[in-house]
Structure 1
Amino acid sequence: MTDVTPLILLTRPLADAEGFAVLLAELGITAEVEISPIVEIVPSEAHVDLTDITGVIFSSRNAVAAVDGYDLPAWCVGEATATAARAKGWRAEAADGDADSLYARVLADAPKGPLLHIRGEVARGDLAGRLTKVGIQTHEVVVYRQEAHSLSKCAKTALMRENPVIAPLFSPRAAAQFASQGPYHAPLHVVVMSEAVRDALGDLPAETVVLAEKKEANAMAEAVAGLLDAG
């Protein structure tokens, strides 16, 4: 990188960005952190009807936060989502961090159904449709929407300087939106959660693109730490 300590730019929704900043601090990272959410989570106020539902599917922590807890099985996209669900009373199991692994986990457990996929307006994988097609009746309800935002003035300024910027990106949607607001002048080092996130960057110029070892926030934080240690 350079002898100048990079700025770490967090573009997740505010609560998620603040939580990730805590993870970075727990790893001993002291680099400056700039939070500039490019997605805002807005509740839809949809009615969640659990009548006759035998279990639910959560593909994000935002979905968990949007509904009351209930003593039912809950299949969750990853461990962080499962932890949030358990805290609210759901009997949660975790998949490996993406829609395909979540589908596979539900399929392997072969619940009787009907299930309810509680999700955001933008979701990957058509879980309800795929599960219903193989005989596990699954409905869905949208409990929040993801509103796009431009980078803040401070973030844009940082991205146009000569000092390096590390940008952890957690979803293809966030990566595409971040790329659409570029190109940037600063030497850019991106940490991505999956190949799909990396692909969504398109041809955005970057000095480094690092794939986290696991599809979870801790692995993303460790990848950021690795970039800093590499200097």
Structure 2
Amino acid sequence: MPMSSPARPVLLLTRPRADSRRFAAMLPEWRAVISPILRIVGVDHDGVALRDAPGLVFTSAHAVAAAGPGQGRLAICVGGHTAQVARAAGFAVRTGTGSAEGLLPLIRDAGVPLIHPHGRHLARELPVPGVVVYDQQPVPLTRDAQALLAGDAPVVLPLFSPRSARLAADAARGARAALWPVAISEAARAAWDAPAAGHAVAGRPDAAAMVAAIRNLPVAEQ
């Protein structure tokens, strides 16, 4: 009786739906199941202070709308996608390297007072005043995602923050499928505390490096 081929690995994408769809489009050769593990919910904040701020620091594209029209104001952005959203809103953008550390020299050289609008759960404090403008609320996995974890195919989980890594690990604990977490940073990798068949860390903290790390996984060759 001929041996069956091993099941092809599947991506389990747990970022908010629009972010997950954008990432899935970067890996068109992979089957992807989207199951956001967080939802972004706006919270009450001092909108006037943000609209009047001469400069903003954005560590997530989700914070840009809360700052009001850019009108040529300075926006220091963590990476390319956030910069694209801020530029479309009318900000004069300076782009970092994808990490909080990469923002520090831009903050130091800004030349204007800055405010950092951000989510309630912050991976790292920055040396500028912060305003919480949204919450990242946990969401249970969908039935499709649960079925994937209970199946035979290896599951690759891109992890884009320490908090989402912790939530994904909790949700995946006890999975039958072999799990391959791929983290955007060492901090995100360290936050994963569930069993794993293997793991990888992106060479840079950006989506393109995450794609490269996924394609270089041993399981990707199945």
Q: TM-score, normalised by structure 1?
A: 0.85
Partner of residue 34, structure 2: 35
Q: Secondary structure at the match of 2:131?
A: strand
Q: 1:121 Cα deviation (Å)?
A: 1.1
Deviation at 1:142, TM superposition (A): 1.6
Matched, 1:24 2:21: no
Q: Residues of 1 paired with 2:200 and 2:169: CA distance?
A: 16
Return closer, same or farther for 1:67/1:50 CA change in 2, 3 Å cut-off: closer
1:84-127 deviation line (CA, Å, top 9, x unaligned): 211211111111222222234312x1x34321111111112221
- Alignment map for 1:147-186 (pairs within 5 Å): 147-181=137-171, 182-186=173-177
- Against the structure 1 CA distance between its residues 150 and 50, is the aligned structure 2 distance closer, same or farther, given a 3 Å change threshold? closer
Name the aligned partner's letter for residue 14 of structure 2: T
Match of 1:206 in 2: 196
Other-structure match for 1:197: 188
What's the CA shift for 1:215? Answer: 0.8
Q: CA RMSD in A?
A: 1.8
Residue 188 of structure 1 and its aligned partner are, at CA, apart by 0.9
Percent identical among aligned pairs is 37
Is there any run of 5+ residues in structure 2 with no aligned partner, and where?
none
| 8 Å contact kept, 2:57–2:115 | yes
Between 1:10-19 and 1:48-57, the stretch displaced more is 48-57
Q: What amino acid is the match of 1:106?
A: I
Q: Is the 8 A contact 1:69 1:85 kept in 2?
A: no
Name 1:135's counterpart in structure 2: none
Aligned partner letter, 1:123:
L
Q: 1:10 and 2:13 equivalent?
A: yes
SS at the partner of 1:75? Answer: strand
Is residue 62 of structure 1 aligned with residue 62 of structure 2? yes
Q: How does 1:29-108 map to 2 (within 5 A)?
A: 29=29, 31-48=30-47, 49-50=49-50, 53-70=53-70, 71-107=72-108
- Equivalent residues of 2:38, 2:136 under 8 A apart: yes
Letter matched to residue 75 of structure 1: I
Q: CA deviation at 1:209?
A: 0.6
- Distance in 2 (CA, whole Å) between partners of 1:217 and 1:179 is 20
CA drift of 1:50 comes to 4.1
User: For residue 140 of structure 2, what is the amino acid of its counterpart?
Assistant: S
8 Å contact from structure 2 (residues 9, 220) kept in 1: no
- 168-177 or 156-165: bigger deviation: 156-165
Secondary structure of 1:162's partner?
coil
Query: Does the 8 Å contact 2:51/2:69 carry over to 1?
Result: no
Letter of the structure 2 residue corresponding to residue 183 of structure 1: G
State the 1:65 CA deviation: 3.9
Task: Give the Cα separation in 2 of the matches to 1:196 and 1:165.
Answer: 21
1:68-92 CA distance string (max 9 Å, x none): 3311111111122112211211111
Name the structure 2 match of 1:144: 134
Q: Secondary structure at the match of 1:219?
A: helix
One-letter code aligned to 1:124: A
- Counterpart of 1:173 in structure 2: which amino acid? R
C-alpha contact (below 8 Å) 2:74/2:92 kept by paired residues: yes
